[in-house]
């Protein structure tokens, strides 16, 4: 079974930083074949694609609201991925989810492309 376990959320002041982690297990195919992504869900808003790395290449993609502030990365086997979040603002407050599946190109920012999800970790940014 594919499993994802997210961690690293918490409470931080505006302007601060957090690093989220997500451990992935259970994919049977070669590690470089699946896309990995971070998404967030805030109260009253739709699920938003934050960042992703698409299948079969190392190209990162970012949502417009986080470009220049967040960085996605992973270990070489894509069994652990990270989201470094800098210069956080209250608008970044949300539950953050990691996801993995076979998605190519910028479509990896589309949450509907994913079947495998972690449980979510809360990020709260105070003003």
Residue that wins the pLDDT comparison between 20 and 31: 20
What pLDDT does residue 26 have?
A: 84
Q: What is the pLDDT of residues 54-100, one digit of tens each?
A: 987 788 999 999 999 999 999 888 889 999 999 999 999 999 999 99
Angle at 111 between CA 13 and CA 9, to 5 degrees: 25
Q: Rounded CA gap, 48 and 84, in Å?
A: 17
- pLDDT band of 34, cuts 50, 70, 90: confident
- DSSP-derived letter for residue 63 is -
C-alpha to C-alpha distances, 124 to 11, 71, 81, 114, nearest whole angstrom: 5, 18, 20, 25
Total count of residues recorded for the chain: 127
CB burial class (10 A; 0-12, 13-18, 19+) of residue 29? exposed
The residues facing 4 across adjacent strands are 24
- pLDDT band of 14, cuts 50, 70, 90: very high
Q: What average pLDDT is seen over the chain?
A: 93
Three-state DSSP class for 100?
strand
Q: What is the pLDDT of residues 15-28, one digit of tens each?
A: 999 999 999 988 76
What pLDDT does residue 25 have?
A: 87
């Amino acid at each position: 079974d594919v499993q994802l376990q997210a961690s690293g959320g918490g409470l931080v002041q505006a302007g601060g930083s957090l690093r989220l982690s997500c451990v992935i297990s259970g994919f049977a195919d070669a590690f470089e074949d699946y896309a990995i992504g971070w998404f967030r869900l805030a109260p009253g808003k739709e699920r938003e694609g934050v960042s992703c790395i698409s299948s079969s290449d190392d190209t990162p993609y970012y949502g417009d609201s986080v470009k220049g502030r967040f960085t996605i990365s992973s270990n070489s086997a894509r069994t652990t991925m990270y989201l470094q979040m800098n210069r956080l603002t209250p608008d970044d407050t949300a539950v953050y989810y990691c996801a993995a599946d076979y998605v190519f190109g910028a479509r990896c920012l589309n949450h509907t492309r994913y079947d495998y999800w972690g449980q979510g970790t809360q990020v709260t940014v105070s003003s």
